[in-house]
Protein backbone atom coordinates (compact mmCIF):
# COMPACT_ATOMS: atom_id res chain seq x y z
CA UNK A 1 0.00 0.00 0.00
CA UNK A 2 1.07 3.56 -0.50
CA UNK A 3 -0.05 7.03 0.35
CA UNK A 4 -1.17 9.05 -2.64
CA UNK A 5 -1.05 12.78 -3.05
CA UNK A 6 -4.45 14.46 -2.54
CA UNK A 7 -5.13 17.10 -5.17
CA UNK A 8 -6.77 20.33 -4.09
CA UNK A 9 -9.47 22.67 -5.33
CA UNK A 10 -8.35 24.45 -8.46
CA UNK A 11 -6.90 21.29 -10.02
CA UNK A 12 -8.99 20.58 -13.15
CA UNK A 13 -8.97 16.82 -12.45
CA UNK A 14 -11.55 17.46 -9.70
CA UNK A 15 -13.99 18.88 -12.26
CA UNK A 16 -14.00 15.99 -14.73
CA UNK A 17 -16.47 13.16 -15.05
CA UNK A 18 -14.94 9.81 -14.09
CA UNK A 19 -15.11 6.75 -16.31
CA UNK A 20 -16.92 3.58 -15.39
CA UNK A 21 -14.76 0.66 -14.25
CA UNK A 22 -15.17 -2.10 -16.85
CA UNK A 23 -12.84 -4.64 -15.33
CA UNK A 24 -11.47 -5.04 -11.81
CA UNK A 25 -7.73 -5.55 -12.13
CA UNK A 26 -4.88 -5.72 -9.60
CA UNK A 27 -4.45 -1.99 -10.19
CA UNK A 28 -8.07 -1.42 -9.15
CA UNK A 29 -7.43 -3.28 -5.90
CA UNK A 30 -4.20 -1.37 -5.34
CA UNK A 31 -6.09 1.89 -5.83
CA UNK A 32 -8.77 0.84 -3.31
CA UNK A 33 -6.06 0.00 -0.77
CA UNK A 34 -4.21 3.25 -1.39
CA UNK A 35 -7.41 5.33 -1.16
CA UNK A 36 -8.22 3.78 2.24
CA UNK A 37 -4.69 4.32 3.53
CA UNK A 38 -4.56 7.90 2.24
CA UNK A 39 -8.02 8.68 3.69
CA UNK A 40 -7.04 7.35 7.13
CA UNK A 41 -3.72 9.18 7.08
CA UNK A 42 -5.62 12.43 6.40
CA UNK A 43 -8.31 11.65 9.03
CA UNK A 44 -11.01 11.73 6.36
CA UNK A 45 -14.40 10.01 6.20
CA UNK A 46 -14.15 9.35 2.47
CA UNK A 47 -11.91 9.71 -0.57
CA UNK A 48 -12.67 9.42 -4.27
CA UNK A 49 -10.29 8.40 -7.06
CA UNK A 50 -10.25 11.84 -8.77
CA UNK A 51 -8.93 13.28 -5.50
CA UNK A 52 -5.74 11.34 -6.15
CA UNK A 53 -5.78 12.23 -9.84
CA UNK A 54 -7.45 9.10 -11.23
CA UNK A 55 -10.61 9.52 -13.31
CA UNK A 56 -12.31 6.25 -12.45
CA UNK A 57 -15.64 5.67 -10.66
CA UNK A 58 -14.07 4.43 -7.43
CA UNK A 59 -14.31 5.76 -3.88
CA UNK A 60 -13.92 4.65 -0.28
CA UNK A 61 -15.88 5.72 2.80
CA UNK A 62 -15.22 4.81 6.41
CA UNK A 63 -17.77 5.49 9.14
CA UNK A 64 -17.88 3.83 12.59
CA UNK A 65 -14.81 1.74 11.71
CA UNK A 66 -16.64 0.18 8.76
CA UNK A 67 -14.87 0.53 5.41
CA UNK A 68 -17.00 0.75 2.26
CA UNK A 69 -15.34 0.28 -1.12
CA UNK A 70 -17.46 1.66 -3.95
CA UNK A 71 -16.88 0.74 -7.59
CA UNK A 72 -19.30 2.30 -10.12
CA UNK A 73 -21.61 3.48 -7.31
CA UNK A 74 -25.10 4.70 -8.11
CA UNK A 75 -27.65 6.22 -5.77
CA UNK A 76 -30.86 4.31 -6.47
CA UNK A 77 -33.09 5.65 -3.67
CA UNK A 78 -33.14 8.74 -1.48
CA UNK A 79 -35.44 9.72 1.38
CA UNK A 80 -35.71 12.71 3.65
CA UNK A 81 -33.33 15.61 4.15
CA UNK A 82 -30.45 16.48 6.44
CA UNK A 83 -28.60 19.78 6.65
CA UNK A 84 -25.22 19.73 8.30
CA UNK A 85 -21.56 20.67 8.07
CA UNK A 86 -19.42 19.12 5.39
CA UNK A 87 -15.74 19.33 4.55
CA UNK A 88 -13.45 17.83 1.94
CA UNK A 89 -9.82 16.71 1.93
CA UNK A 90 -9.45 18.54 -1.39
CA UNK A 91 -10.76 21.79 0.12
CA UNK A 92 -8.65 22.00 3.28
CA UNK A 93 -9.42 24.42 6.08
CA UNK A 94 -13.03 25.07 5.09
CA UNK A 95 -16.49 23.76 5.93
CA UNK A 96 -20.03 24.54 4.89
CA UNK A 97 -23.58 23.35 5.42
CA UNK A 98 -25.06 21.18 2.69
CA UNK A 99 -28.49 19.60 2.20
CA UNK A 100 -28.27 15.85 1.63
CA UNK A 101 -30.83 13.04 1.75
CA UNK A 102 -31.22 11.55 5.25
CA UNK A 103 -31.32 8.06 3.75
CA UNK A 104 -29.84 6.60 0.58
CA UNK A 105 -29.46 3.25 -1.08
CA UNK A 106 -26.36 2.83 -3.21
CA UNK A 107 -25.73 0.07 -5.72
CA UNK A 108 -22.12 -0.66 -6.59
CA UNK A 109 -19.60 -3.38 -7.19
CA UNK A 110 -17.34 -4.58 -4.40
CA UNK A 111 -13.70 -5.55 -4.93
CA UNK A 112 -14.75 -9.05 -5.95
CA UNK A 113 -16.93 -7.68 -8.74
CA UNK A 114 -20.13 -8.60 -6.91
CA UNK A 115 -23.13 -6.27 -7.03
CA UNK A 116 -23.93 -4.98 -3.56
CA UNK A 117 -26.45 -2.50 -2.15
CA UNK A 118 -25.64 -0.32 0.84
CA UNK A 119 -28.40 1.27 2.91
CA UNK A 120 -27.20 4.34 4.75
CA UNK A 121 -28.52 7.17 6.87
CA UNK A 122 -27.03 10.15 8.67
CA UNK A 123 -23.29 10.66 8.25
CA UNK A 124 -22.83 7.57 6.11
CA UNK A 125 -25.54 8.73 3.68
CA UNK A 126 -23.88 12.16 3.57
CA UNK A 127 -20.46 10.62 2.89
CA UNK A 128 -21.79 8.42 0.08
CA UNK A 129 -23.44 11.42 -1.61
CA UNK A 130 -20.30 13.55 -1.22
CA UNK A 131 -17.99 10.90 -2.72
CA UNK A 132 -20.33 10.02 -5.57
CA UNK A 133 -20.55 13.73 -6.42
CA UNK A 134 -16.75 13.71 -6.80
CA UNK A 135 -17.09 11.11 -9.56
CA UNK A 136 -19.14 13.62 -11.55
CA UNK A 137 -16.77 16.53 -10.94
CA UNK A 138 -18.99 18.08 -8.27
CA UNK A 139 -17.58 19.51 -5.02
CA UNK A 140 -19.61 20.19 -1.88
CA UNK A 141 -18.72 23.88 -2.14
CA UNK A 142 -20.96 23.98 -5.23
CA UNK A 143 -23.91 23.11 -2.99
CA UNK A 144 -23.03 24.69 0.36
CA UNK A 145 -24.54 28.06 1.07
CA UNK A 146 -22.16 29.34 3.74
CA UNK A 147 -18.54 28.29 3.33
CA UNK A 148 -16.43 29.30 6.30
CA UNK A 149 -12.79 28.95 7.32
CA UNK A 150 -12.14 26.52 10.14
CA UNK A 151 -10.34 27.50 13.34
CA UNK A 152 -7.22 25.61 14.35
CA UNK A 153 -9.23 23.53 16.84
CA UNK A 154 -11.92 22.35 14.42
Q: How far apart are CA 22 and CA 42, in angstroms?
A: 29
Q: Is 95 helix (H, G, I), strand (E, B) or coil?
A: strand
Q: Is the separation of the CB atoms in 14 and 140 below 8 Å?
A: no
35 is a site residue for Zn ion (CB under 5 A): no
Query: Hey, which residues are catalytic here?
Result: 131
**Sole window of 8-16, 35-43, 64-72, 80-88 interacting with Zn ion (rule: CB under 5 A):** 80-88
For the bound state, the minimum distance from the C-beta of residue 39 to Zn ion, rounded and expressed in Å, comes to 10
| Count of residues of this chain found to bind Zn ion when the rule CB under 5 A is applied | 1
> With respect to Zn ion, which residue has the nearer C-beta, 24 or 85?
85
Q: Is the separation of the CB atoms in 98 and 88 below 8 Å?
A: no
* DSSP symbol at 24: -
45 is a site residue for Zn ion (CB under 5 A): no
Q: How far apart are CA 72 and CA 79, in angstroms?
A: 21
Bridge partners for 85 per DSSP: 97
For the bound state, the minimum distance from the C-beta of residue 30 to Zn ion, rounded and expressed in Å, comes to 21
Burial label, 125 (beta-carbon count in 10 A; 0-12, 13-18, 19+): buried
For the bound state, the minimum distance from the C-beta of residue 135 to Zn ion, rounded and expressed in Å, comes to 11
88 is a site residue for Zn ion (CB under 5 A): yes
**Sole window of 12-20, 58-66, 83-91, 109-117 interacting with Zn ion (rule: CB under 5 A):** 83-91
Say which residues have a Cβ less than 8 Å from residue 142's Cβ, sequence separation at least 6: none
**Sole window of 8-16, 22-30, 87-95, 116-124 interacting with Zn ion (rule: CB under 5 A):** 87-95
Provide the binding-site residues for Zn ion, judged by CB under 5 A.
88
Amino acid sequence: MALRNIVEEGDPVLRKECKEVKEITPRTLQLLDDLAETMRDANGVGLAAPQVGILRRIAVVEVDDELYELINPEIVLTEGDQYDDEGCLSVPGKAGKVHRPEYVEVNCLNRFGEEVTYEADGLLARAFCHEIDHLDGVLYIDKADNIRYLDEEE
